[in-house]
Amino acid sequence: MSTLTKILIVLLTISSIFLCGIVVTYVANADNYRQMYDDLKDERDAFEENVKGLTKQLNEKIGEKQRLEDKLNREIASLTIKIEQLQSQFKIVEAEKDDALRRVNSWAAIVRDFYETTDEHTQLLKNTLAEKIRLEAEQIKDRKELNELTTSLEEKMAIIVMLDEKTKRLLEDKAELQDRLDKYLQQIGKRAAELVPVTPKKAIARPVVPPARDIELKGLVTAVDLKNSMASISIGSADGVKEGMKFHVTRGDEFICVILIIDVDAEEAVGVLELIQKQPKAGDYISTNL
């Protein structure tokens, strides 16, 4: 055989072997592709079923979404209406607030004027009260002086009445003695000489200046004997009480009477009631000065 033939035979052999390998490979892979095709088909069917389910779910979600959007749109529309209403109310409230602020400012001015007026009236009232207190103090002082002058006058009037009574009794005694003297002288044939007054003439009456007061003594009435017009007091010689002293008896602001001391012990004293305005009683206040 020629070389070419040999080469051709070798090439043919190699080609046959190659073809056999290809056929074997094809046959072997044909089953695998069939299985893959079936698997892919099953996967595709499952995928299509899954897609149908997901599509259904998607459609349901889209419907639900649409319903929610409709609900939200309705709520948004309702809230928009409420917002518009609230804005209208807010404008009204703003207007009312501005009006209230104007009124507050007006009232603040009124209150400020009121406080200023009140301060003026308060100061005026304080001045009036101070003047009232001053006048009351002066009135109390004048009343005290008046009471002192009244008491002094009453005492002097009592002394004048007592002196008038004494003078009257002395004149009666004088007349009686004169009558007895005239009768006696007539019996012996004589006549009484005319009496020449030796008492100097009285000077013109002048205002009485109250004497300086003694040290002030104070105490209480301890017992009263209205039948004999006498009373005892709670202080005596140990406190400076002496016979002839006069104590003014008072009850609150009322003048009751005067006690003229006639007997003094160490711890108490007894006197005669004079210038009785009201009946004294135990516990009444006594003092040498009003």
Looking at the predicted structure, is the pLDDT value of residue 235 above 80?
A: yes
Handedness of CA 278, 283, 288, 290 (dihedral sign): negative
Could you give the percent of the chain with pLDDT greater than 90? Answer: 23
What average pLDDT does the segment 196-216 reach?
Answer: 47
Handedness of CA 157, 161, 164, 166 (dihedral sign): negative
In terms of Cβ atoms closer than 10 Å to its own Cβ (0-12, 13-18, 19+), residue 196 is: exposed
d(CA 219, CA 285): 6
| Confidence label for 207 from pLDDT (cuts 50, 70 and 90) | very low
Q: What are phi and psi of 205, to 5 degrees?
A: -60, 135
What would the two tokens of residue 267 be? 């711890």
What average pLDDT does the segment 79-103 reach?
Answer: 89
Of 62-66, 124-128, 180-184, which has the strongest mean pLDDT?
62-66
What average pLDDT does the segment 199-227 reach?
Answer: 64
Return the closest-CA partner of residue 54 out of 62, 72, 150, 87: 62
pLDDT at 168: 84
| Confidence label for 236 from pLDDT (cuts 50, 70 and 90) | very high
**Whole-prediction pTM:** 0.30
pLDDT at 209: 38
> Cβ(247)–Cβ(217) under 8 Å?
yes
Beta strand ranges found along the chain (DSSP E): 218-225, 230-233, 246-251, 254-264, 269-274, 285-287
What would the two tokens of residue 213 be? 């007061």
What would the two tokens of residue 211 be? 């004497």
The DSSP output letter for 266 is S
What would the two tokens of residue 170 be? 């002395």
Contacts of 289 (CB under 8 A, 6+ apart): 148, 213, 216, 248
What average pLDDT does the segment 245-257 reach?
Answer: 92
What average pLDDT does the segment 184-198 reach?
Answer: 52
d(CA 259, CA 244): 10
The DSSP output letter for 253 is T
| Confidence label for 261 from pLDDT (cuts 50, 70 and 90) | very high
d(CA 166, CA 9): 206
Return the closest-CA partner of residue 230 out of 274, 176, 266: 274
| Confidence label for 29 from pLDDT (cuts 50, 70 and 90) | low
Q: Using the structure block, give the residue that is written with the tokens 């979404």.
A: 65
Lowest-pLDDT range, 23-37, 176-190, 196-210, 252-266? 196-210
How confident is the model over 172-188, as pLDDT tens digits? Answer: 877 877 776 666 556 55
